[in-house]
């Protein structure tokens, strides 16, 4: 244990006195006067005076400075808030982009900052190329329509030809079938009956002449008939035989050859006509499909030309851009410049514009919102509906009342300047903004979000809090010097901290870092540690007792220090980490062994 001022070794006291005497001698030789402070065993100072009242003046000034560095613990209420910066945005904004599919140039553009009404001319782009294309497409459309009419007429002619050809083929088939039926049921039967009748007649005639020839022979033998007459009867008989054989042969030829040949010919004619009908049908389908394809192709060409011409007309009309609603004219260069930190370039007549390029934004300035960025450690403590005070410097420093509208879903990085930084965008609705305030997009804002409040608690300035290992403490005056006094730190704002235990109302604390020699070196008092919620482990190291139900964890920290309302991490030379629930909850200090370094809270 280091020696206390009350038990300084004699050698140390002699060396200190010798140094003071040398300093006094040098000052006296220089002809000056000085008030000398000597340190006694009790730690109180006594003044040595030389040269009149100069020492008294220094003592009075020192006393005034000491009083200014002290503050009383007060019982009061305060709000827990955080401050975030951002800019104004219009809740509703219309973007005017180039509708042309090709590059163009600006022929006219309305001055930036103009408040326009619906239907006012904003931008006129050069549309000479579009007009030339329209002039070229118009006769093409007329030609395509004429070709479509011709193709439709050819299709109708083909339909009529197909119907006529099919009717003729079907008629030929019907006639062939009728001829076959006529042959089988009429001509063939009639011819066969004639041949059979001829054969029967020849047979009867043969029988008659045979009997006559026999009688002639008998009469010739009896002398009643001449030889000549008998010969004539024989000739007639021979002719009858020949006629009978010919009739039989004709019937046989008809049945065997003529009937079969004619029947097959008739059947073949029917089959040929039936095949002709099928050929006509297939040919009709082919020609009709060809005519329809030609008609459809002409129709498609007309539709494409009409669509192309309509698009050119729309773009030609779109080259003259008017305001779709009331709003304030803001050039795209201003929007992108405020977003990405661009230069002073602005849109002007003759400037080239690309397809779909943003030209003008029309924000609705009657309904503005503040968009601020908060550290990810605070995003979980911000809820829709929380009260916010929004200060706008461009509006004369006026403070507007607002409420949290929504919190961004995705965190945004800090870019190349700080790639590890993660912040969320919080949108805040302004409740009391009016048209007279003349608020404009991109105005810088400072939003103070109320995260919670502390009612009727003992408080000290946050500058009075220090950390040594796991112990949070304040410096209390004792005589002309100070002692370290452990406390339990609760919720805190940017300026005040709640002290639930370890400090009473009216007690005085130091609100700055003590100078070397101003602090009495003492061990922690076990009673004071216990009152403030600390304990020692089996090795004698001081630990912080976590209150029941207190949340743990280590929230993230942003660049340049912890965010407002969040206790920094307990590291060497800093206060221990204390996490808080939204609205203020008892913090839970992370238990760590005590160290010998104590530094003020920044």
> Quick one: pLDDT at residue 420?
82
> Quick one: pLDDT at residue 573?
34
Residue 368 lies in a domain: no
Q: What phi, psi does 32 have (nearest 5°)? A: -105, 175
> Quick one: pLDDT at residue 546?
58
DSSP 3-state of 322:
strand
Q: What angle do CA 564, 565, 566 make, to 5 degrees?
A: 95
pTM score over 0.85:
no
Count: domains in the chain: 3
How far apart, in Å, are the Cα atoms of 554 and each of 439, 497, 576? 40, 19, 10
- What burial class does residue 122 get, using C-beta atoms within 10 Å of its C-beta: 0-12 exposed, 13-18 middle, 19+ buried? buried
Same domain? 240 vs 313: yes
Same domain? 286 vs 213: yes
Q: What is the CATH number of the domain that holds 500?
A: 2.40.420.20
Q: Looking at 51, 68, 85, which one is the last position of a domain?
A: 68
Range of the domain at 179: 129-318
Nearest to 56 by CA among 47, 66, 44: 47
> Quick one: pLDDT at residue 61?
56
> Quick one: pLDDT at residue 245?
93
Q: What does 431-487 look like in DSSP terms, one character per residue?
A: SS--GGG---TT-EEEEEEEEEEEEEEEEEEGGG-EEETTEEEEEEEETTEEEEEE-
> Quick one: pLDDT at residue 474?
93
| 3-state secondary structure string across 90-114 | ECCEEEEECCCCCCEEEEEECCCCC
> Quick one: pLDDT at residue 570?
33
Q: Which residue numbers in the chain have pLDDT < 70?
A: 1-66, 337-344, 435-437, 546-602
> Quick one: pLDDT at residue 527?
85
Same domain? 44 vs 137: no
C-alpha–C-alpha distance, residues 106 and 104, integer Å: 7
> Quick one: pLDDT at residue 29?
35
C-alpha–C-alpha distance, residues 278 and 338, integer Å: 79
Q: What phi, psi does 278 have (nearest 5°)? A: -65, -40
Nearest to 493 by CA among 580, 402, 375: 580
> Quick one: pLDDT at residue 338?
55
pLDDT tens, position by position, 316-330: 998 999 999 888 888
Distance of CA 272 to the CA centre of its chain: 71
> Quick one: pLDDT at residue 337?
61
> Quick one: pLDDT at residue 542?
83
Nearest to 525 by CA among 498, 502, 497: 502
Residue 204 lies in a domain: yes
Q: What phi, psi does 595 have (nearest 5°)? A: -115, 180
Residue 534 lies in a domain: yes
Tokens 């070196």 belong to residue:
521
């Amino acid at each position: 244990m280091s020696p206390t001022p009350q038990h300084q070794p004699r050698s140390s006291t002699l060396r200190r006195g010798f140094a003071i005497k040398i300093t006094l001698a040098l000052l006296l030789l220089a002809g000056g006067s000085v008030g000398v402070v000597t340190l006694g065993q009790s730690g109180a100072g006594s003044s040595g005076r030389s040269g009149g009242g100069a020492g008294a003046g220094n003592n009075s000034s020192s006393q005034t400075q000491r009083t200014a560095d002290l503050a009383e613990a007060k019982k009061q209420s305060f709000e827990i808030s955080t401050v975030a910066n951002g800019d104004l945005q219009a809740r509703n904004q219309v973007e005017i982009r180039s509708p042309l599919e090709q590059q163009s140039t600006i022929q006219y553009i309305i001055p930036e900052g103009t408040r326009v009404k619906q239907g006012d001319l904003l931008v006129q782009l050069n549309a000479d190329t579009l007009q030339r294309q329209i002039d070229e497409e118009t006769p093409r459309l007329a030609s395509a329509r004429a070709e479509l009419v011709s193709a439709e007429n050819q299709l109708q002619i083909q339909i009529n030809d197909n119907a006529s050809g099919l009717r003729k083929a079907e008629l030929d088939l019907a006639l062939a079938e009728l001829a076959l039926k006529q042959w089988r049921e009429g001509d063939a039967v009639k011819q066969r009956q004639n041949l059979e009748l001829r054969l029967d007649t020849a047979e009867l005639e043969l029988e008659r002449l045979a009997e006559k020839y026999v009688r002639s022979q008998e009469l010739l033998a009896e002398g009643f008939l001449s030889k000549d007459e008998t010969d004539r009867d024989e000739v007639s008989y021979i002719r009858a035989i020949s006629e009978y054989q010919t009739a039989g042969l004709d019937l046989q030829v008809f049945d065997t050859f003529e009937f079969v040949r004619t029947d097959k010919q008739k059947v073949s004619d029917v089959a040929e006509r039936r095949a002709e009908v099928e050929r006509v049908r297939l040919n009709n389908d082919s020609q009709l499909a060809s005519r329809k394809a030609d008609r459809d192709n002409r129709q498609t060409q007309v539709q494409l030309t009409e669509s192309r011409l309509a698009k050119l007309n729309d773009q030609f009309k779109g080259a003259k851009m008017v305001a779709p609603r009331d709003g304030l004219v803001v050039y795209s260069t201003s929007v992108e410049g405020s977003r990405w930190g661009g230069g002073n370039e602005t849109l002007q007549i003759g400037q080239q514009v690309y397809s779909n390029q943003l030209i003008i934004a029309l924000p609705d300035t009657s309904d503005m919102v503040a968009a601020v960025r908060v550290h990810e450690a605070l995003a979980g403590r911000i809820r829709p509906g929380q009260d916010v005070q929004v200060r706008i410097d461009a509006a004369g420093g006026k403070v507007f009342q607002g409420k949290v509208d929504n919190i961004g879903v995705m965190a945004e990085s800090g870019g190349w300047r700080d790639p590890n930084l993660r912040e969320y965008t919080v949108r805040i609705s302004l409740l009391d903004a009016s048209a007279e305030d003349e608020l404009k997009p991109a105005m810088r804002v400072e939003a103070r979000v109320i995260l919670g409040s502390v009612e009727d608690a003992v408080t000290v300035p946050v500058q009075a809090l220090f950390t040594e290992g796991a112990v949070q403490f304040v410096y209390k005056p004792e005589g002309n010097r100070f002692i370290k006094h452990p406390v339990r730190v609760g919720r805190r704002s940017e300026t005040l901290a709640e002290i639930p235990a370890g400090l009473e109302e009216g007690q005085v604390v130091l609100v700055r870092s003590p100078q070397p020699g101003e602090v009495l070196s003492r061990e922690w008092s076990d009673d004071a540690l216990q009152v403030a919620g600390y304990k020692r482990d089996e090795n004698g190291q001081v630990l912080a007792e976590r209150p029941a139900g207190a949340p743990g964890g280590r929230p993230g920290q942003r660049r340049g220090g912890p965010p407002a309302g969040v206790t920094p991490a307990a590291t060497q030379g800093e206060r221990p980490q204390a996490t808080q629930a939204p609205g203020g909850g008892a913090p839970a200090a992370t238990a760590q062994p005590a160290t010998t370094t104590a530094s003020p809270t920044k």
